[in-house]
Structure 1
């Protein structure tokens, strides 16, 4: 196992950014930036032994700083927080006090605000052993940042092992009661960018999903997937399953929904899987989180170009965002996202690659 680090440009304010490349004994590599904790590249083998980069991103830092990228907000590969996903009306209350947030998604708050964790420089520490390569990123989010209460100390640890698995461990503590919901927003394309994800086969271990309003805020209901295009309990071709118009479910352009996993908190239970029949690559997802948001790159419009100069159009990648449910701070019936002083918030997700 080894870790290389190289300069990866400077932010608009002149802060240097470093890319850390974790490599296992098989030759699998994960390129991760200390800017936003971005998974900038991730290679995986196909059934013929060929390697390809299976995440969307840019070859240089400038790609993550352009006006088109920042306005479009795809969050390629980034850590998003303090609160991943949407909070209705851009506000929530704790102990009777209302906390207004930055509104950046219609009338709602999305993925931490104007300058969320995806745009911060994180402090990096590396560790290597015969079995794994580790990159530990830490950031102190001050009280009031983006409207959230409490000084929040966050650590996100990326670990690449020799089983071709990238593990992400999240840890946070606060000095005031606050809310937290972190995830990684990598977009996977198991063809290595040779095709869209529409032909990939998707499975989710969930009997229920969260219906949404037109502004993509959950209605509060947790509904059975049975008899709907949300039923992914058996492998289904992504394009055939999600592109059938269904006004009630908000379908027609693709998935951007949250599924309630059948066995929340169990890291040994498969949460989701994606299989690319052409390359033979398979991605398995394991998580301690209660939900997973599937976003099929519906709003990518071709204006952004990737690491090989390819255009990122609709469905160029699929995000598998393990997390608590959207708008949980305003939904007491959902699993709580409140973190109090003296408590430690932890979460783990594993992305494991194989071929068949």
Structure 2
């Protein structure tokens, strides 16, 4: 327990909370975007591997949001993760128009979502299972969403080598909400490639989308489908798809590195996991440590509600009512196999 610690430092203009568990796992959490900047895992050979992509400075994070396809490295995404068709939704018989930052649609909270906000570090626990809690209060009508929304996100690094991300939110008016975490994982290290890593997704259906990647409201059976990952197989070279979670609070997805014999399981209480590999932002900005990222540098497991859920009555409700509490929990569990 002597090695367990939590401390706040400043790294290139970003306030950073550094958590270390008793096994030597270490994470850096930045106040900008409440972002996970690094996740370092000690290997049996004594080396350490950083398994998430990121940047070295707040200026580069900010610059990345000016790209045609921002990467959202390690960020908390909100108020609504995923796309909302034409940036429109109706709540309590009133229509709301959001900023169309993805062609004609709204994506990941609009023009300036939670990923670009300065969060406040409000609590740190340096004891067993070290943790940090960050808070952001979104004013009513920010990005045209109704209600003042108070959000807290807690990152915990457990002694079981779990990265636990918990989200709590409450609102002053009925609103919609869908928060997620947007790390790109690479179990070979952030300077490598995921092409030889094995992906498993415990799902029977995926959310059908149109050519703009907007849900149609229908689902596709994964039997005999190229994206059936119920049995592990190599990561796809490109994917931007929401999978229906079969059982919450069970292993819904996993990633395995034959190189490091390292496995990551994803467990969530959310109805979907949006899996993403690809993007056209790479080759423009250098990553941390001068890494030259490319479209196979990492894979995202965005645990969340379905995209465009406010516009589909057959999807799980995305409405958070005044007086109610939003709670989302996702665990990324690491083990050597």
The TM-score bracket by the shorter chain reads over 0.9
Cα distance in structure 1, aligned partners of 2:19 and 2:199: 27
Gaps of 5+ in 2: none
Cα distance in structure 2, aligned partners of 1:320 and 1:302: 22
What SS does the aligned partner of 2:216 have? Answer: coil
1:161-187 residue CA offsets vs partner (Å, 9 max, x unmatched): 111111011011111110000001000
Give 1:103-182 correspondences, 5 Å limit.
Answer: 103-182=100-179
Cα distance in structure 1, aligned partners of 2:43 and 2:180: 27
Is it true that 1:210 corresponds to 2:207 in the alignment?
yes
Give how far 1:105 is off: 0.5
Aligned counterpart, 2:244 = 260
Aligned counterpart, 2:42 = 45
What SS does the aligned partner of 2:115 have? Answer: helix
Q: 11, 33, 36: which is aligned to 2:33?
A: 36
Q: 293, 300, 305: which is aligned to 1:324?
A: 305
Report the RMSD for the aligned CA atoms in angstroms. 1.4
Cα distance in structure 1, aligned partners of 2:143 and 2:191: 38
Give 1:267-286 correspondences, 5 Å limit.
Answer: 267=249, 269-286=250-267
Name the CA shift for 1:209/1:67 in 2 (closer, same or farther; >3 Å): closer
Cα distance in structure 2, aligned partners of 1:127 and 1:20: 8
Q: 5, 10, 19: which is aligned to 2:8?
A: 5
Give how far 1:193 is off: 3.1
TM-score (norm 1): 0.91
Aligned counterpart, 1:334 = 315
1:80-101 residue CA offsets vs partner (Å, 9 max, x unmatched): 0000010000110112111000
Is it true that 1:354 corresponds to 2:335 in the alignment?
yes
Q: Which runs of 4+ in 1 moved over 2 A?
A: 45-50, 67-72, 125-130, 297-301
Aligned counterpart, 2:218 = 221
Cα distance in structure 1, aligned partners of 2:42 and 2:203: 28
| Equivalent residues of 2:6, 2:126 under 8 A apart | no
